[in-house]
């Protein structure tokens, strides 16, 4: 399996999502035409995604001997798009983000609709309410789409989905807490990276696919040993690219994380390595629009950038070492997905 | 089964919830003490509820011949408390409600904590974010707690849980849409009543319990024929009590729905039966604090109150007629729960 195979699989994910939502839409449209629009908004929101989690799920399935042609599996893989859609809808609302994939974020889109149609009440409140409910709808669909696969091991695999869902909410909560505190340590910032990226995007999707294929506990553990350092490394690289990368390539203005007040590992390292004066400047400037240049300099000057670069190298080596414990071909299944995972390929 | 039996069952629901969350807490506390606090907030939020949906679920189980002593079933019934907790957390945030069961609502509690601990950033934004994430956490737990029962028919019963989850989000969306529009018709207002109350609180919980006990399709249909009119009747009575009931008994100031701008059936009927001038006044006064007395008078004067009272009678008769198609003893299982369902017993 190589990068081209991953591309070839994407239409099958879309097809599984479409079968699911066509049924939902037909069912709800008989109740009210407004509910057809509710389903359509969810469908449109998840369209055009990178399908990263379904693709990691498929990698776990193939590494564990799952049949590449078994279309039942596609429903299980596709279910992760609803979890991701829900997380993004709620995340954008919590962050106050105006856009998502170059379009207005959900809460902004429904806020705009409220204004343009001259509806009653607060447009902002309406946008927020619809984004909350669409996120809830998508989260409600995760298990249903997963079970639709009707694969024989669906009941044994569901506990991995349970873990994944709880961990997403837990990771988001740790992130929200970190943003509300000064002096977040490196280990706390790394915990957010582990939960929001390594476990959610890489480890659990691999586990889900592997569990559906009947992988033994030893293989699940070996997958964790690759997934965690690999997932952490690519999130750290993504953080670095977000600050020092070329906005023309990343698709986002440099320093967005600093502007949003994110307590990234780069910031935590800078606070750890810098002076008292540096720490005060971080607390003053983080989350404001005009401190980005100074904070970027500070992250380089304190040695935080170099330290994170060395963390990335260490994590990549650990992942590479662990890769040798996986069945032959695992590298080809997982490797191409990592390139898709950072901001470079947005 | 009578009212006393329902009371006797409540500790078993609490026990099932506690077993579930003790495991979750232990697992997440090893990651971070902050996550133990996250679980605790969810546990505390669902404590002290009326357990109405688990009790209807149990009624469906017993009516269909389920074993009253089978403790595995308790997990399935208890799962509905996570769905309800999630809906309430998000509902309070969308409505901007300050309190829930006499305590601060979740978003307000975490907003207050942000202020008292002098955290970074917006206190209001922090409270909203934590309420969104706790709602997501609880919604993530529904299927897991349900499957924990490990009853033999769990896979056959899960599609009823799927329907229930989708319908809750759909009902909330219709409610949000109704509040954003003038001149909501009686049939649209009744649709919200059907989805948010009759199906979510009565019909689907009955179906879930019945499906777990292996009830045939004919029994599920007979349960719907009782549940829908009964659920609609008690929601309408709740609306009437909320406006004309004694606040000392309902536990809420009279007219809360009007103050919050809810497009109840009472309001829709008043708009239907009233004059153009009445309709203008409704649009002007609904959602404001000082129009309650005038709107209450208008609802009586236009005949809307009498019309809704007659709707309630008609629905109760239909439910009573349908009750005769259920197995003997069904009335005793369902009846006492209805008294608990209105604001009288808050």
Structural domain includes residue A63: no
Contact A170 B128 (CB under 8 A): no
For residue A148, give Cα distances in angstroms to A155, A167, A215, B70.
12, 23, 21, 29
Instruction: Give B81: exposed, middle or buried? Use CB within 10 Å, 0-12, 13-18, 19+.
Output: buried
Structural domain includes residue B65: no
pTM over 0.90: yes
Contact A136 B133 (CB under 8 A): no
Domain stop point among A107, A130, A150: A150
Tell me the pLDDT band of A102, cut-offs 50, 70 and 90.
Answer: confident
Instruction: Print the domain residue range for A76.
Output: 1-48+71-150
Residues of chain B with Cβ-Cβ distance to A193 below 8 Å are none
CATH number at residue B285: 1.10.600.10
Contact A121 B287 (CB under 8 A): yes
Structural domain includes residue A175: yes
Flag the least confident range among A134-138, B160-164, B331-335.
Answer: B331-335
The whole-number pLDDT of residue A209 equals: 98
Residues of chain A with Cβ-Cβ distance to B144 below 8 Å are 158-159, 162, 165-166
Give the pLDDT mean for A28-57.
95
CA gap B268, B270 in Å, rounded: 5
Domain stop point among A116, A150, A184: A150
Q: Does B126 touch chain A (CB under 8 A)?
A: yes
Q: Does A143 touch chain B (CB under 8 A)?
A: yes
For residues B26 and B172, membership in a common domain is answered with no
Contact A86 B177 (CB under 8 A): no
CB A37 within 8 A of CB A134: no
Structural domain includes residue A91: yes
Give the pLDDT mean for B3-13.
85
Listing DSSP states for B274-343 in one string gives: S-HHHHHHHHHHTT-TT-HHHHHHHHHHTTHHHHHHHHHHHHHHHHHHHHTTSPTTHHHHHHHHHHHHSG
- Structure ipTM over 0.90, yes or no: yes
Q: Does A302 touch chain B (CB under 8 A)?
A: no
Residues of chain B with Cβ-Cβ distance to A184 below 8 Å are none
For residue B151, give Cα distances in angstroms to A150, A152, A158, B164, B212.
18, 17, 15, 19, 7
Tokens of B211: 């499906």
Per-residue pLDDT at B2 exceeds 70: no
For residues B178 and B112, membership in a common domain is answered with no
Secondary structure (H, E, C), chain A: CCHHHHHHHHHHHHHHHHHHHHHHHHHHHCCCHHHHHHHHHHHHHHCCCCCHHHHHHHHHHHHCCCCCCCCHHHHHHHHHHHHHHHHHHHHHHHHCCCEECCEECHHHHHHHHHHHCCCCCCHHHHHHHHHHHHHHHHHHHHHHHHHCCCCCCHHHHHHHHHHHHHHHHHHHHHHHHHHCCCCCCHHHHHHHHHHHHHHHHHHHHHHHHHHHCCCCHHHHHHHHHHHHHHHHHHHHHHHHHHHHCCHHHHCCCCCHHHHCCCCCHHHHHHHHHCCHHHHHHHHHHCCCCCCHHHHHHHHHHCCHHHHHHHHHHHHHHHHHHHHCCCCCCHHHHHHHHHHHHCHHHC
Per-residue pLDDT at B342 exceeds 60: no
Interface test with B, best of A26, A32, A193 (most B CBs within 10 A): A32
Distance between B216 CA and the closest CA of chain A, angstroms: 22
Per-residue pLDDT at B244 exceeds 80: yes
CB A111 within 8 A of CB A131: no
Residues of chain B with Cβ-Cβ distance to A128 below 8 Å are 94
Instruction: Give A68: exposed, middle or buried? Use CB within 10 Å, 0-12, 13-18, 19+.
Output: exposed
Map residue B122 onto helix, strand or coil: coil
Contact A126 B180 (CB under 8 A): yes
Q: At what angle do helices B33-46 and B123-147 cross, to 10 degrees?
A: 80
Contact B24 A166 (CB under 8 A): yes
Per-residue pLDDT at B250 exceeds 80: no
End-to-end CA distance of chain B: 22
Structural domain includes residue B157: yes
Range list of H helices, chain B? 3-29, 33-46, 52-63, 72-95, 106-116, 123-147, 154-179, 186-193, 204-212, 217-244, 247-250, 256-259, 265-273, 276-285, 292-301, 304-323, 330-341
Residues of chain B with Cβ-Cβ distance to A31 below 8 Å are 170, 191, 195
Tell me the pLDDT band of B7, cut-offs 50, 70 and 90.
Answer: confident
Contact A38 B173 (CB under 8 A): yes
Tell me the pLDDT band of A35, cut-offs 50, 70 and 90.
Answer: very high
CB A96 within 8 A of CB B125: yes
Structural domain includes residue A54: no
For residues A32 and A178, membership in a common domain is answered with no
For residues B238 and B136, membership in a common domain is answered with no
Sign of the Cα pseudo-torsion (A171, A175, A176, A177, in order): positive
Phi and psi at residue B260, in whole multiples of 5°? -85, 0
CB A82 within 8 A of CB A218: no
Per-residue pLDDT at A252 exceeds 80: no
Contact A172 B261 (CB under 8 A): no
CA gap B157, B214 in Å, rounded: 9
Domain stop point among A108, A134, A150: A150
For residues A160 and A255, membership in a common domain is answered with yes
Structural domain includes residue A62: no
- Give residues 197 to 236 of B whose Cβ lies within 8 Å of A: none
Residue with tokens 């990178």: A50
For residues A116 and A214, membership in a common domain is answered with no
CB A169 within 8 A of CB B140: yes
Contact A125 B261 (CB under 8 A): no
For residues B184 and B295, membership in a common domain is answered with yes
The whole-number pLDDT of residue A305 equals: 97
pLDDT tens digit sequence for B167-217: 999 999 999 999 999 889 999 999 999 999 999 999 999 999 999 999 999
Structural domain includes residue A60: no
Tell me the pLDDT band of A4, cut-offs 50, 70 and 90.
Answer: low
The whole-number pLDDT of residue A182 equals: 84
Contact B90 A261 (CB under 8 A): no
For residues B117 and B215, membership in a common domain is answered with no
The whole-number pLDDT of residue A289 equals: 85
pLDDT tens digit sequence for A285-310: 998 888 999 999 999 999 999 999 99
Tell me the pLDDT band of A345, cut-offs 50, 70 and 90.
Answer: very low
Q: For strands A99-100 and A103-104, give the pairing.
A: antiparallel
Q: Indicate the number of domains in chain B.
A: 2
Flag the least confident range among A67-76, B162-171, B204-213, B330-339.
Answer: B330-339
For residues B219 and B246, membership in a common domain is answered with yes
Percent of chain B with pLDDT over 90: 82
The whole-number pLDDT of residue B246 equals: 84
Contact B287 A125 (CB under 8 A): no
For residues B12 and B145, membership in a common domain is answered with yes
Residue with tokens 């109405």: B52
Contact A176 B35 (CB under 8 A): no
CA gap A322, B275 in Å, rounded: 76
The whole-number pLDDT of residue A250 equals: 73
Interface test with B, best of A34, A171, A173, A184 (most B CBs within 10 A): A173
Per-residue pLDDT at A284 exceeds 50: yes
Per-residue pLDDT at B6 exceeds 90: no
For residues A89 and A196, membership in a common domain is answered with no
Interface test with B, best of A106, A132, A135, A191 (most B CBs within 10 A): A132
Contact A133 B90 (CB under 8 A): yes
For residues B97 and B194, membership in a common domain is answered with no
């Amino acid at each position: 399996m190589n990068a081209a195979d991953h591309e070839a699989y994407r239409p099958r994910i879309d097809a599984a999502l479409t079968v699911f939502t066509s049924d939902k839409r037909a069912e709800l449209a008989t109740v009210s035409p407004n509910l057809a629009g509710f389903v359509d908004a969810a469908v449109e929101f998840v369209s055009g995604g990178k399908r990263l989690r379904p693709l990691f799920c498929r990698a776990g399935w193939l590494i564990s001997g799952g049949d590449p042609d078994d279309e039942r599996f596609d429903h299980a893989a596709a279910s992760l798009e609803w979890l991701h859609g829900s997380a993004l809808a709620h995340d954008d609302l919590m962050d106050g983000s105006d856009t998502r994939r170059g379009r207005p974020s959900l809460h902004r889109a429904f806020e705009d609709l409220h204004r343009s149609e001259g509806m009653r009440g607060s447009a902002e409140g309406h946008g927020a309410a619809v984004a909350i409910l669409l996120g809830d709808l998508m989260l409600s669909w995760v298990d249903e789409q997963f079970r639709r696969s009707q694969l024989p091991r669906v009941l044994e695999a569901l506990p991995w989905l349970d873990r994944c869902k709880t961990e997403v909410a837990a990771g988001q909560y740790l992130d929200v807490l970190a943003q509300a505190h000064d002096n977040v340590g490196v280990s706390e910032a790394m915990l957010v990276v582990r939960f929001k990226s390594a476990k959610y995007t890489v480890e659990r999707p691999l586990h889900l696919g592997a569990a559906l294929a009947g992988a033994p506990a030893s293989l699940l553990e070996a997958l964790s040993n690759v997934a965690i350092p690999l997932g952490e490394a690519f999130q750290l690289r993504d953080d670095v690219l977000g600050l020092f990368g070329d906005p023309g390539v990343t698709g986002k203005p440099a320093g967005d994380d600093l502007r949003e007040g994110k307590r990234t590992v780069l910031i935590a390292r800078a606070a750890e390595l810098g002076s008292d004066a540096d720490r005060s400047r971080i607390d003053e400037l983080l989350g404001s629009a005009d401190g980005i240049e100074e904070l970027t300099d500070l992250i380089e000057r304190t040695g935080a950038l170099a330290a994170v670069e060395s963390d990335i190298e260490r994590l990549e080596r650990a992942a590479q070492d662990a890769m040798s414990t996986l069945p032959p071909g695992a590298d080809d299944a997982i490797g191409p997905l990592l390139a898709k995972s950072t901001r470079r390929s947005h």
